[in-house]
Protein backbone atom coordinates (compact mmCIF):
# COMPACT_ATOMS: atom_id res chain seq x y z
CA UNK A 1 0.00 0.00 0.00
CA UNK A 2 1.11 3.53 -0.73
CA UNK A 3 2.20 5.91 1.97
CA UNK A 4 -0.71 7.55 3.79
CA UNK A 5 -0.80 11.27 4.65
CA UNK A 6 0.56 11.88 8.15
CA UNK A 7 -1.10 13.99 10.81
CA UNK A 8 0.65 17.31 11.49
CA UNK A 9 3.03 16.68 8.56
CA UNK A 10 0.89 16.38 5.42
CA UNK A 11 -2.36 17.98 4.32
CA UNK A 12 -5.28 15.90 3.05
CA UNK A 13 -5.82 15.75 -0.71
CA UNK A 14 -9.23 17.38 -0.47
CA UNK A 15 -11.52 19.13 1.99
CA UNK A 16 -13.56 16.97 4.36
CA UNK A 17 -13.85 15.25 7.72
CA UNK A 18 -10.73 13.40 8.86
CA UNK A 19 -9.58 11.22 11.73
CA UNK A 20 -5.98 12.01 12.68
CA UNK A 21 -3.91 9.62 14.79
CA UNK A 22 -0.90 10.70 16.85
CA UNK A 23 1.06 9.99 20.03
CA UNK A 24 2.02 6.70 18.36
CA UNK A 25 4.15 3.75 19.39
CA UNK A 26 5.10 0.36 17.98
CA UNK A 27 4.78 -1.48 21.30
CA UNK A 28 2.02 -0.66 23.80
CA UNK A 29 4.09 -1.96 26.72
CA UNK A 30 7.06 0.27 26.04
CA UNK A 31 7.40 3.55 27.87
CA UNK A 32 7.49 6.49 25.51
CA UNK A 33 10.15 9.15 25.34
CA UNK A 34 8.19 12.27 24.53
CA UNK A 35 5.18 12.05 22.26
CA UNK A 36 5.95 9.16 19.95
CA UNK A 37 5.22 9.42 16.24
CA UNK A 38 2.41 10.95 14.22
CA UNK A 39 0.04 8.53 12.52
CA UNK A 40 -2.10 8.72 9.39
CA UNK A 41 -4.86 11.15 8.53
CA UNK A 42 -7.84 8.93 7.68
CA UNK A 43 -10.60 10.19 5.39
CA UNK A 44 -12.44 12.00 4.00
CA UNK A 45 -15.21 10.52 6.11
CA UNK A 46 -18.97 10.85 6.36
CA UNK A 47 -18.93 10.07 10.06
CA UNK A 48 -17.00 8.69 13.04
CA UNK A 49 -19.07 6.62 15.48
CA UNK A 50 -17.68 5.23 18.75
CA UNK A 51 -19.37 2.35 20.58
CA UNK A 52 -18.65 1.54 24.26
CA UNK A 53 -15.34 3.42 24.00
CA UNK A 54 -13.85 0.42 22.24
CA UNK A 55 -14.98 0.38 18.60
CA UNK A 56 -14.49 3.43 16.38
CA UNK A 57 -16.60 2.91 13.28
CA UNK A 58 -15.92 5.07 10.27
CA UNK A 59 -17.58 5.60 6.92
CA UNK A 60 -15.57 6.98 3.99
CA UNK A 61 -17.00 9.38 1.43
CA UNK A 62 -16.16 6.93 -1.37
CA UNK A 63 -15.28 3.20 -1.60
CA UNK A 64 -11.97 4.06 -3.30
CA UNK A 65 -10.91 6.18 -0.34
CA UNK A 66 -11.71 3.26 2.00
CA UNK A 67 -9.52 0.95 -0.11
CA UNK A 68 -6.68 3.49 -0.01
CA UNK A 69 -6.56 2.88 3.74
CA UNK A 70 -6.73 -0.89 3.47
CA UNK A 71 -10.40 -1.20 4.37
CA UNK A 72 -12.90 -3.36 2.51
CA UNK A 73 -15.68 -0.90 1.61
CA UNK A 74 -18.26 -3.72 1.64
CA UNK A 75 -17.68 -4.58 5.29
CA UNK A 76 -17.81 -2.79 8.62
CA UNK A 77 -14.90 -0.38 8.84
CA UNK A 78 -13.68 0.19 12.35
CA UNK A 79 -10.63 0.82 14.47
CA UNK A 80 -10.49 -0.95 17.81
CA UNK A 81 -8.97 0.22 21.05
CA UNK A 82 -6.53 -1.77 23.11
CA UNK A 83 -6.15 -0.74 26.72
CA UNK A 84 -6.44 3.07 26.42
CA UNK A 85 -5.05 3.38 22.89
CA UNK A 86 -6.42 3.00 19.38
CA UNK A 87 -4.90 0.37 17.12
CA UNK A 88 -4.37 0.96 13.40
CA UNK A 89 -2.29 -1.20 11.02
CA UNK A 90 -0.33 -2.78 13.86
CA UNK A 91 0.56 0.45 15.67
CA UNK A 92 -0.89 2.02 18.81
CA UNK A 93 -1.94 5.67 19.20
CA UNK A 94 -2.65 7.50 22.44
CA UNK A 95 -4.47 10.39 20.77
CA UNK A 96 -6.96 10.71 17.94
CA UNK A 97 -8.66 13.78 16.64
CA UNK A 98 -11.69 14.21 14.38
CA UNK A 99 -11.47 17.46 12.46
CA UNK A 100 -12.72 19.21 9.37
CA UNK A 101 -10.08 20.16 6.83
CA UNK A 102 -10.87 22.96 4.40
CA UNK A 103 -8.68 24.76 1.93
CA UNK A 104 -8.59 28.13 3.60
CA UNK A 105 -6.23 30.25 1.61
CA UNK A 106 -5.55 29.90 -2.09
CA UNK A 107 -3.02 32.00 -3.96
CA UNK A 108 -4.21 34.47 -6.57
CA UNK A 109 -4.44 33.20 -10.12
CA UNK A 110 -1.39 35.06 -11.38
CA UNK A 111 -0.64 32.32 -13.86
CA UNK A 112 -3.90 32.58 -15.76
CA UNK A 113 -2.79 33.78 -19.13
CA UNK A 114 -5.73 35.97 -20.03
CA UNK A 115 -8.54 37.95 -18.50
CA UNK A 116 -11.49 35.65 -17.83
CA UNK A 117 -13.91 38.35 -18.99
CA UNK A 118 -12.52 38.19 -22.48
CA UNK A 119 -12.59 34.42 -23.01
CA UNK A 120 -14.26 33.49 -26.25
CA UNK A 121 -15.49 29.92 -26.60
CA UNK A 122 -13.36 28.85 -29.55
CA UNK A 123 -10.23 30.29 -28.05
CA UNK A 124 -10.82 28.60 -24.68
CA UNK A 125 -11.11 25.21 -26.36
CA UNK A 126 -7.79 25.53 -28.14
CA UNK A 127 -5.87 27.14 -25.35
CA UNK A 128 -4.75 25.29 -22.27
CA UNK A 129 -5.06 27.44 -19.18
CA UNK A 130 -3.52 26.10 -16.02
CA UNK A 131 -3.44 27.21 -12.40
CA UNK A 132 -0.81 26.94 -9.66
CA UNK A 133 -3.64 26.30 -7.19
CA UNK A 134 -3.86 22.64 -8.28
CA UNK A 135 -1.73 19.97 -9.91
CA UNK A 136 -2.54 16.68 -11.67
CA UNK A 137 -1.36 13.40 -10.18
CA UNK A 138 -1.61 10.06 -12.02
CA UNK A 139 -4.82 8.84 -10.41
CA UNK A 140 -7.72 8.00 -12.72
CA UNK A 141 -10.24 9.73 -10.50
CA UNK A 142 -9.58 12.52 -8.02
CA UNK A 143 -6.37 13.39 -9.84
CA UNK A 144 -6.62 17.14 -9.15
CA UNK A 145 -4.56 17.91 -6.06
CA UNK A 146 -4.50 21.25 -4.20
CA UNK A 147 -1.14 23.05 -4.16
CA UNK A 148 -1.00 22.58 -0.37
CA UNK A 149 -0.70 18.82 -0.98
CA UNK A 150 2.89 17.97 -1.90
CA UNK A 151 2.36 14.28 -2.55
CA UNK A 152 -0.44 11.95 -3.66
CA UNK A 153 -0.44 8.94 -1.34
CA UNK A 154 -2.60 6.98 -3.80
CA UNK A 155 -0.44 7.08 -6.95
CA UNK A 156 2.73 8.11 -5.13
CA UNK A 157 3.47 11.14 -7.32
CA UNK A 158 5.07 14.34 -6.02
CA UNK A 159 3.79 17.82 -6.86
CA UNK A 160 7.17 18.97 -8.12
CA UNK A 161 7.21 16.25 -10.81
CA UNK A 162 3.70 16.94 -12.08
CA UNK A 163 2.09 19.67 -14.14
CA UNK A 164 -0.41 22.27 -13.00
CA UNK A 165 -4.10 21.47 -13.45
CA UNK A 166 -6.21 22.88 -16.24
CA UNK A 167 -8.64 25.52 -15.06
CA UNK A 168 -11.49 23.94 -17.07
CA UNK A 169 -10.98 20.62 -15.27
CA UNK A 170 -10.76 22.26 -11.85
CA UNK A 171 -14.11 23.94 -12.52
CA UNK A 172 -15.64 20.72 -13.89
CA UNK A 173 -14.74 19.01 -10.62
CA UNK A 174 -16.43 21.89 -8.75
CA UNK A 175 -13.26 22.60 -6.75
CA UNK A 176 -12.81 26.04 -5.20
CA UNK A 177 -10.73 28.36 -7.36
CA UNK A 178 -9.57 31.79 -6.38
CA UNK A 179 -10.24 33.88 -9.47
CA UNK A 180 -9.13 37.14 -7.94
CA UNK A 181 -5.94 38.26 -9.62
CA UNK A 182 -4.00 40.11 -6.96
Q: Which residues bind Zn ion (CB under 5 A)?
A: 137, 139, 152, 154-155
Nearest to 68 by CA among 134, 135, 18: 18
Among 65, 15, 23, 64, residue whose Cα is nearest residue 42: 65
In the complex with Zn ion, the residue whose CB is nearer, 71 or 135, is 135
Q: Decide whether 77 or 137 has the Cβ nearer to Zn ion.
A: 137
Nearest approach, Cβ of 56 to Zn ion (angstroms)? 27
Indicate the residue among 3 and 55 with the shorter CB distance to Zn ion. Answer: 3
Nearer to Zn ion, 45 or 137 (CB): 137
In whole angstroms, how close is the CB of 168 to Zn ion at the nearest point? 20
The minimum distance between CB 64 and Zn ion, in angstroms, equals: 11
Half-sphere exposure of 85 (CA within 13 A, CB side): 19
CB atoms within 10 A of CB 156: 11
Residue 143 Cβ vs Zn ion, minimum distance, rounded to whole Å:
6
Dihedral sign computed on CA atoms, order 104, 107, 108, 113? negative
Q: What are phi and psi of 158, to 5 degrees?
A: -100, 145
Length of the chain: 182
- In the bound state with Zn ion, the residue whose beta carbon lies nearer, of 11 and 81, is 11
CA dist., res. 163 & res. 62, Å (int): 26
CB of 74 to Zn ion, least distance (A): 23
Amino acid sequence: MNRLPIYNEDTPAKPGLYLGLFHGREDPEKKLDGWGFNGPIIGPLNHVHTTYLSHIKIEFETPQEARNYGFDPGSLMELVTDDDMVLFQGKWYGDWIVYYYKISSLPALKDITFDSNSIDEGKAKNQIITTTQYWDCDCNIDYIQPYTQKHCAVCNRNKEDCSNSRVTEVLQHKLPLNKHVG
